[in-house]
Structure 1
Amino acid sequence: MSRLKEVFDWRFWIWQPILAFLLPFLIDQIHFLGTNFKIIGLLFILNSAFSVFVGLYLRSHGSFWYLLIVWPLIFALATWLGFNESLYGYFFAILYLVIGIFSYTHGQTEEIDYNDQIPVDGGFKGDR
């Protein structure tokens, strides 16, 4: 049950709709911010950094791996609803999934205690 409570942390669930729906809408309403700022600043830099955060957050809290797809799906939904350009919005959703998977699986082959484990021949025998 505690594992499930960690998944419902506000940092994971609140920032997704803000970055997928609210910020693209606000950038479209502010006329002095151009399309290049939206593509480079928001969609590439900020959302990619958030994808890294999502992968690291889910891994550090021992959350379910299939939650990695939630952020790209919310972004794809925002693209489908017209908050982002469909020309590149779906490609960014795939990019966010790949970045999330990379940050989630980074270093799993080099776990700290994996190589230092001591084999126990004949099984463990405790004091009886």
Structure 2
Amino acid sequence: MREFKKIADWKFWILMPVFGLLIPFAIKELTGNLKILGVIISLFIINIIFSVFVGIYLRRHGSFWYLLIVWPLIFCLGVVLNLFPDAYGYYFGIVYFIIELYAYTMGQESEVDIDDQIPIDGGIKEVK
């Protein structure tokens, strides 16, 4: 239950369907060059920034890593509902997952205090 309280921020869970379903639905209703511009702005700029936000948000709130799959699944649901073509929609879902994963694990590549640790291979001989 404590884990659920960490991720129960309603803004976070409302934004995912908005970016994955409502914005693509609005873009689908556009025509001509506005539609192309809307797809580029939505897929490449807004959703990538949102993917970074989701990864950082989940890491800062101490959430489980498997919640990273929720945003790409909601986006792929939009592809299933024909809001984006299948030809590139699923690939963008994979790209968003990879971007989230990078944002989630960012800064965890190395141990920051590795030089300050005491080696204990032979045991600590003398404690003062």
With the length of structure 1 as denominator, give the TM-score of the two structures: 0.83
Q: What corresponds to 1:69 in structure 2?
A: 69
Q: Count residues with an aligned counterpart.
A: 123
Stretch of structure 1 that moved more, 45-54 or 107-116: 107-116
Q: CA RMSD in A?
A: 2.1
1:27–1:33 CA contact under 8 A, matched in 2: no
Q: What corresponds to 1:36 in structure 2?
A: 36
Deviation per CA, 1:16-74: give whole Å up to 9, x if none.
Answer: 10011111111222336623223320011100000000000000111010000000011
**Counterparts in 2 of 1:1-128, with a 5 A limit?**
1-31=1-31, 34-113=34-113, 115-118=115-118
Which whole-Å CA distance do the structure 2 matches of 1:115 and 1:86 have between them?
50
Moved over 6 A (4+): none
Cα drift, residue 81 of structure 1: 0.9
Which whole-Å CA distance do the structure 1 matches of 2:17 and 2:114 have between them?
38
With the length of structure 2 as denominator, give the TM-score of the two structures: 0.83
Which amino acid is 1:43 matched to?
A: L
Which whole-Å CA distance do the structure 2 matches of 1:39 and 1:88 have between them?
12
Helix, strand or coil: the match of 2:109? helix
Using a 3 Å threshold, how does the CA distance of structure 1 residues 39 and 29 change in structure 2: closer, same or farther?
Answer: closer
1:72–1:94 CA contact under 8 A, matched in 2: yes
Can you give the 5+ residue segments of structure 1 that lack an aligned partner in the other structure?
Answer: none
Can you give the 5+ residue segments of structure 2 that lack an aligned partner in the other structure?
Answer: none
